[in-house]
Structure 1
Amino acid sequence: MDDLIRTAAEAAEADALPRLHEVHSDETQRNAAKQTVPKCMTDTPVSKKSPAQWAYERVVLYLKNFEEQLDADHEVAMGFTGGDAGVLRIEGMGYFDPDIVTFYGQDGGGGRMQLVQHVSQLNVALRALPKAKREKPANRIGFRLVEDIEAGAALTQKKNT
């Protein structure tokens, strides 16, 4: 038993995960529950993952699902509430165990931007923005992040054999 103080909701979530359930008013709307969770994400029990890794993996799945619904002229970005931070065009994402998740990218004017957030405050509003460079294909970070997770799992498995 650890010394962490948890809310009843956190305790219930830790006991139940990984589960996913979503309902939309438009039945044709694709949601995260309809996508296949990569095996590498389910190979390691949730109890063996830090809160940062677990939050990171789930956000990656939502990013990928959101991008799969975008047309070729739009890319994923994050919107912010409060303050004048605006949006962050997501170019990268990471985590720092045990409890930090970070997003890298650019603001609406093309300036470099990074969000560093504690998992207890994680709140991500995904937005579609027109491509930053019209002559290039849309950036699909969610797909690259899933590939990175799968590659890391394969490397870990190789080390353990």
Structure 2
Amino acid sequence: MGDEINTAAEAAEMTALPRAHEVHSDPKAKNARDQPVPKGVSDTPLTQKSPAQWAYERTFLYLKKFEEGLDDNHEIAMGFAGTDAGVLKIEGMGYFDPDVVTFYGADSSGAKMQLVQHVSQLNVLFRALQKPVAAEPPNRIGFKLVEDLEHDAT
């Protein structure tokens, strides 16, 4: 243990078993707890994960679940509260230890965007965004994030 001082809530979070709970009005809706947890997430003990890695992993699991509910005409994006930045079509995601999570993408005009967020400020609003070219299959970043994590675990 280092010299870092954690609140009781932070200490409890670091020792908590990964679990999720959701209730939906639609009884057929998939819950986060019903989703398989990638081996790369469950193989590393929480005490060995930085706050950035732990936030990244939980966020991309929700991202993937959201994408699974999209039709072929929509891709995932995130909205911004309190700014006129619009939406960011999520094309990549990462983290920088110990406490930063980042999202890469583009706005609706195609201009590149990147959000760098401290884990203590992390709030992500997922949105379904009409994909630009109807003939191309939708880009599913959540599946790529899981593949990357599984590759790292082997």
Same fold (TM over 0.5): yes
Identity of aligned residues (%): 68
CA RMSD of aligned residues (A): 1.2
Runs of 5+ in structure 2 lacking a partner?
Answer: none
Match of 1:74 in 2: 74
Q: How many pairs were matched up?
A: 154
Letter in 1 for 2:146: V
Following superposition, the deviation at residue 18 of structure 1 comes to 1.2
Instruction: Indicate the SS of the match to 2:144.
Output: helix
Distance 2:151 2:16 in 1: 27
Could you say which residue in structure 1 is the equivalent of 2:8? 8
Q: How does 1:50-65 map to 2 (within 5 A)?
A: 50-65=50-65
- 2:29 aligned residue: 29
Tell me the equivalent position of 1:86: 86
Letter in 2 for 1:10: E
User: Residue by residue, what CA displacement relative to the aligned partner does 1:40-95 show, whole Å, maximum 9, x if unpaired?
Assistant: 21111010011111111111111110111100100000011001111100000011
Cα distance in 1 for residues equivalent to 2:54 and 2:8: 18
Structure 1 unaligned segments of length 5 or more: list them.
Answer: 155-161
1:43 aligns with 2:43: yes
**Pairwise CA distance, 1:9:** 2.1
CA–CA separation in structure 2 for the residues paired with 1:17 and 1:109: 42
Structure 1-normalised TM-score?
A: 0.91
The answer for the alignment partner of 2:148 in structure 1 is: 148
Is the 2:19–2:33 Cα contact (8 Å) retained in structure 1? no
Q: Which has the larger share of helix? A: 1
How does the TM-score come out when normalised to structure 2? Answer: 0.95
Q: Secondary structure at the match of 2:28?
A: coil
